[in-house]
Amino acid sequence: MTTLATLDNVTRTYGDVVAVDDVNLSIESGTILGLLGPNGAGKTTVISLLQGLRKPSRGTVTLFGGSPADARNRVLLGSTPQETALPATLRVGEVLDFVGSHFASRAPTAELADEFGLDRLLRRQTGSLSGGQKRRLSVALAFVGRPKLVLLDEPTTGLDVDARRTLWDALRSQHERGATIVVTSHYLEEIEALAQRVVVMGEGRVLADDSLVGVLDRVGLARVRLESGQLDRVATLPGVDRVDEASGTSASFFVRDSDGFIVSLVRSGIDFRGLTVRGATLEEAFLSLTGGARAAAGARTAVRTTPSSTVKES
């Protein structure tokens, strides 16, 4: 594998705010890397550093062996930010053709349109597209120049379930044809569907950098809530990762094996009632990774579930 980009001991501050804190990251060719974290974790700042839109306050960022600020090193880089402005009066096909005209070797418009589900929209003006359709076009534009490295910041924002899966399939196809892809997301489901390697960030720091399976094992918690007059004894049972929301006789216990925990609870003879079990949310998983509430502030609460606030496409 070839190293395409690196962050070496990179820190980026905005006044008194530390957005990225001494991050080391290496992006090798041939993978889909998922960059996972709550709001304020530093994901978008990392993307902007790799794009050359921001300079590190300390440390070194390299892209294709040189500085991301040098336009020559960005020729083989594709990207889609969280928000993209499209010329409202141009047709979808015209936008793809215009962006493609800037590259010596470009992907055919028809090929991209078919792959990203835009083939029936080529003659539509972008101003008449739904939010989800605009988002698919924005992501497709990142691949027009046949880039070696693509940075996608929250690529499925505004997509319904079917459109999201269409986009996932397109990203997998682009990867199979040689593109290395970095995807940021709040949602573990998104990263689980796409990524082979996962980097977890919180408060500007890398909390975990592992295979998908390795990271899922680390955040694969269950939340068990119950009432008992002996919560202190419940907290000492095997498999308890941490205790949260303790109030009076009620508390939540985060465990890695809910079945094993319940067996231990019953065998202990501890009196309990009102037991409920569910998978941990992403916010709760981050609390377990960081050992503190601050690193999970602002995280959306969804693990392996589709966000309820998606926008339906017309």
Q: Is residue 37 domain-shared with residue 98, that is, in the same domain?
A: yes
Q: Is residue 166 domain-shared with residue 210, that is, in the same domain?
A: yes
Per-residue model confidence (pLDDT) at position 39? 81
Tokens encoding 252: 């939540």
Q: Is residue 143 domain-shared with residue 39, that is, in the same domain?
A: yes
Nearest to 82 by CA among 133, 3, 181, 158: 158
Per-residue model confidence (pLDDT) at position 306? 35
Instruction: Note the residue count of the chain.
Output: 314
Going by the DSSP 8-state scheme, the letter that residue 67 receives in this structure is -
Global pTM exceeds 0.85: no
Q: Is residue 233 domain-shared with residue 263, that is, in the same domain?
A: yes
Residue with tokens 């998922």: 34
Question: Where residue 81 sits, what CATH number does that domain have?
Answer: 3.40.50.300
Are 82 and 157 spatial neighbours (Cβ–Cβ below 8 Å)? yes
Per-residue model confidence (pLDDT) at position 299? 34
Q: Is residue 12 domain-shared with residue 157, that is, in the same domain?
A: yes
Q: Is residue 156 domain-shared with residue 192, that is, in the same domain?
A: yes
Q: Classify residue 244: in a domain, yes or no.
A: yes
Per-residue model confidence (pLDDT) at position 216? 64
Q: Is residue 208 domain-shared with residue 235, that is, in the same domain?
A: no
Per-residue model confidence (pLDDT) at position 240? 92
Q: 125 vs 92, 120, 259, CA distance in Å? A: 6, 12, 54
Residue with tokens 């402005």: 85
Question: What distance in Å separates the CA atoms of residue 38 and residue 201, rounded to the nearest whole number?
Answer: 8
Q: Is residue 254 domain-shared with residue 196, that is, in the same domain?
A: no
Question: Where residue 255 sits, what CATH number does that domain have?
Answer: 3.30.70
Q: Is residue 74 domain-shared with residue 129, that is, in the same domain?
A: yes
| Residue ending a domain, choose from 187, 217, 247 | 217
Q: Classify residue 293: in a domain, yes or no.
A: no
Q: Is residue 134 domain-shared with residue 262, that is, in the same domain?
A: no
How many domains does one find in the chain?
A: 2
Question: What distance in Å separates the CA atoms of residue 69 and residue 71, rounded to the nearest whole number?
Answer: 6
Per-residue model confidence (pLDDT) at position 298? 38
Q: Classify residue 302: in a domain, yes or no.
A: no
Q: 213 vs 196, 216, 220, CA distance in Å? A: 9, 5, 10
Low-confidence ranges of the chain (pLDDT < 70): 187, 216-219, 280-314
Which residue segment(s) compose the domain that 79 sits in?
3-217
Residue range 45-95, pLDDT digits in tens: 999 999 999 999 999 999 999 999 999 999 999 999 988 899 999 999 999
Q: Is residue 138 domain-shared with residue 47, that is, in the same domain?
A: yes
